[in-house]
Amino acid sequence: MFRGVRLTTPEDTVLDCAAMMPFPDALAVADSAVSSRLTCERNLRNAAVHRRGYRGIRNGRRAVACMDGRAESGGESIVRGILIELGYLIKDIQVPVTSIDAARGPLRLDILLQADDGSLVDLEVDGGEKYENPEMNGGSPLHALMRERQREAGITARGYKVVRVTVTQARDRAWLKARLSVYGVYPQG
């Protein structure tokens, strides 16, 4: 109780949301709860195991089973959830890669996939905020765009192919599958 209002635990809140949301969105809620330290993976997994007889608990358990507190944005989590639903094998997320400009420190790849030929593909989830928000773009959308192009050049120089998608594009599953197939990445199931 807080000021006369009954509250739920963070774990119950995540599971309640997951029961009502499509899996990709539920995964974003679970990832966010863990990455923001509202709860930890152990507590969330424990709550999912012990919750029985609730409508939508299967979706909640699936989201909890796939959650990863390393996810940096809701968009990345949603796209990862869509990939999981489509049967893609995700090698890893937020993979550190040494920058070609040592002063910049390591780069992180959003979602790492593997093509049929064994090459590695970095799926970058783009949002408009890094270009539109002055706090994120250094006061210049052009500066942010140039910085992002240099970052991508550094990733490709390390041998990774880069695919860029927005959440809206990824929600069009046929489009996403067609885009990834150009890079030799196909669902596994």
Over residues 102-150, the pLDDT tens digits come to 667 788 899 999 999 999 999 999 876 665 666 665 666 677 777 778 7
Residue at a domain's end among 68, 89, 115: 68
In a domain, 187, yes or no: no
Q: Which helix (H) or strand (E) holds 97?
A: strand 92-97
Count of domains forming the chain: 2
5 — pLDDT class (breaks 50, 70, 90): confident
Residue 60 has pLDDT above 80, yes or no: yes
Residue 82, pLDDT score: 98
Do residues 101 and 164 share a domain?
A: yes
Q: Is there a single domain that holds both residue 47 and residue 91?
A: no
Q: Looking at the structure, tell me whether residues 127 and 168 fall in a common domain.
A: yes
CATH number of the domain where residue 129 is located: 3.40.960
Q: Which domain holds residue 135?
A: 77-182
- Same-domain check for residues 84 and 177: yes
Inter-residue long-range contacts of 111-114, CB under 8 Å, 24+ positions, other chains counted: 111/76, 111/79, 111/80, 111/83, 113/83, 113/88, 113/89, 113/180, 113/185, 114/89, 114/185
The C-alpha atoms of residue 116 and residue 118 are separated, in whole angstroms, by: 5
Sign of CA dihedral 172, 36, 102, 150: positive
Give CA–CA dist 77/163, Å, rounded: 16
CB contact set of 90 (below 8 Å; sequence gap of 6+): 80, 83, 84, 111, 112, 113
Q: Is residue 28 in a domain?
A: yes
Residue listed under structure tokens 């109780």: 1
93 vs 74: CA distance, rounded Å = 13
Q: Is the pLDDT of residue 63 over 90?
A: yes
Q: Which two tokens stand for residue 75?
A: 């968009």
| Within a domain: 2 | no
The verdict on residue 124 lying in a domain is: yes
CA distances from 19 to 24, 70, 139, 145 (A): 12, 23, 40, 38
For residues 52 and 108, membership in a common domain is answered with no
Residues 15 and 106 occupy one common structural domain: no
C-alpha span between 131 and 143 (Å, rounded):
9
Where would I find the H helices in the chain?
10-20, 23-35, 41-50, 57-66, 74-86, 129-132, 134-137, 141-157, 167-171, 173-182
pTM over 0.95: no
Q: What is the pLDDT of residue 134?
A: 60
pLDDT digits (tens, 9 = 90+) for 169-187: 999 999 999 999 999 999 9
Mark residue 98 as left, alpha or beta (left: phi above 0; alpha: psi -120 to 50; beta: remaining).
Answer: beta
